[in-house]
Structure 1
């Protein structure tokens, strides 16, 4: 806009204001008139510059620099006038002396050649009179500036005629600039007239009105309003071209938001409503920008807390099988309260925590109210968990049911094996004994009744028969793993010690046995299983236990490097050939992979070998060390694959849990259909990862990807209202959990999973059609993979209707 060089400042200080139009400063003086600045001292005062209209950052910086230099020169001129040396001002400027600080550094020899001899004595005396301290010098400059301001009201004031001429000139220039700037500089967002009058969108003046009070519980659709204002404080009607962007993040996850600009009410045209859904508790960072400029206070930090405790999501931190404890000794359990969305849910600070109850009864008997009331509950606010202390006065087997508000917890029903002091000592000896066969007599009930021997080792439970009544022979064995269940049955009154129990692993026929040492067998089995698989039945606990056991194995094997040479073009064949003779010790070494004919480096080795179970084990083995050794296997391990890892027999019935839809539609069809009698062969789908030519994993198709969904969906509908509802749908899907997206896919197509190619290979294509009604629940035609979406008033109404439809109406047929 304006250039402030030294010559121009000299003009400000030395030329009469009536001549300012010749010095190129008429525009500056005109702008100053709008802010009440009419004197040279006003131009040099930083305080009065704050009243000027907002300028571009570079122009404002140059203006303030010019004001600072002007103030220094006016102070210097006043100091010279005090010592009757004002006529030396121009000569000093030629020596680059423009402030009192410069006077210190001007040598007498230099000043002697410039100043007149008659003025040199006065100059030397004045220079010697300057204070040497910094504070004293600042005080002198402040006093001189006060004199400048006082004198400027009388000596430097602009005449009314000059001010009139300048004002008319400024009005003409401002009008001309307002007319020509948009055409001369199309990239400029605002004209000079808008800058002067403040009639433009000013992000720092915008305000946010939050539609909730903190802390807010998760699970609802949040809404806040951005009120947009001009620089002069008047409302600004926001529109699409103003580039309003809202970014919401929770950790590394981005949250999709819906932005609604303006309103049907003209009085609300300056508002923008932003809506988003929160499912995970924690701190959310909300950044609001207009044209890449943050509004006042942005980014914001908003805290969302967990919802109320949901019994069906809360779980007991315990082993998968029975709880073993000693009679007369308290045993503690931990309950982890969770809300509807699996967030750790805090409880009110009260002792005991309200809502939690436990029912205890002898196995097969009635609830023992006295025993149940003896359990105590305490709340640990730091770890957000409830501790339950159980103490059984007598030995036996009890059934426990942990509940919250009368609803049983996720894994709240379990058996408690209470042992006497002697039996407890026996179990402890069994655990510490190096003898691998702990045998108890029993009687086989199922099949042919006979006397058998139950032998328990850290790896398996073996049932042996007797030949000639004294030579044991193995009947069957059950691997000591979580899939093997030891189910205790009620003991009839008067039947003596022990009782009946059942063994099953989901593969072999179950066995029913009776033993007087049943409780000892069950307790030993449970404790050995606990030693093999860890404590609480949570993924974090299992992972920590697994890594701790693997780290023990690292101490027994060296970490030497083992060179492996493979061909890139035949990666699978050459890799299998290079590793087929590897021993366990070889697999525990560090691999150094090189490609034949290439001078490449090892890119991590294991990233090229995600093709076999042994290498999955290698990844897990290395990952136990943590840090740079941590290897990520992008695979979902099914029950059938896990069964092979732990040594169980693989059975086709595993597909009932691995892929129920595949089992019902394909495997069951194969079992019940004579394939030789027909020409059709059932089509089977398997998951597939995408690799490049060098064997690198490029991507893994997610179960339901919103981007893939959006790219390949067929949309039928038109109009702004339909585009608005469609945008709400994609935002809702982005905020849905994986389970909710799978439910919507199930609701529309009848299947919660996709073909290997994702939505692109879905046949027929996924369709979204506008329904001819308003505010109703969405409907679907599963034969055509078609979702019919009605019109809705708001984003919240659409989310509520979608969740209601997929959770309550996801099965069966209905009349439309």
Structure 2
């Protein structure tokens, strides 16, 4: 079919049409590849059993590390069921998303020494060359790779973006000098602007060095648990999107793909909700999205593809639910269903205050 021919040739330039048409066709190609990937991965999931993880919020990194590193790869493909100790929430997708969100905050945090930002003002992550200060760093990198593979397999996202050379290492592609421009533009410029300093000289770091292959650092090979992804689907942009989703929130897309329950588009609560969201910073919008869905990331296809308790079987739209409740109560989130329950607040100011308090100051899962 024509769709299959587009997928096979996705690495080639798309001819004909204007720039907008080429971009649209490329986006459709990526979306189609993602659907095929999700289908292939769903066929690999065992029909019986669960990948059960129980952790406390205070020790999420170490407890997750101990449990995941004991599991066999085939166990990690079983249906993911996460529980926070001391909380009664049942995991139909939302608890796992929050677990991954919190775990990523720990394992990718530069203060823990495994990763670092590429520069002070470019917040993409790369391997910290001084990570060996922790004697267990290679085991931790193996753990990070398993978490990334686990997230991709179960249709979740990693809350963080990596450098272009990092993704190229995952795919076994050669790193070139121009790749440095995406991580450190100033250094790249200084390395390329050397014409005033005389002639080029080549100096071997060891005898016959120019003929010796450069091996992949072991900390990167530990991350290749991502081999669960079929090779035909892995290109640089695509890999970054299936790992991290979209980091930018499109407010128009969010609005147009929101379901309303027991309210209408012109209801006061709905209008005030969007007025509050429009006033939020990008960071606070992400926190609101995380409060309701368990993740700050958006699927490649946008808000229409948010996953709920149905998992890879189908999407579950972001839902605003007007409930009969005391207006002194805070909004309540159901992350497994991407739903926020909002009492019938009397004014915009009260809705804004209660929504902000819920987003910034509440955590944990309970069963009503």
The normalised TM-score by structure 1 is 0.18
| Structure of higher RCO (CA pairs closer than 8 Å, 6+ residues apart) | 2
Q: TM-score, normalised to structure 2's length?
A: 0.37
Highest Rg: 1 or 2? Answer: 1
- Structure number with the higher helix fraction is 2
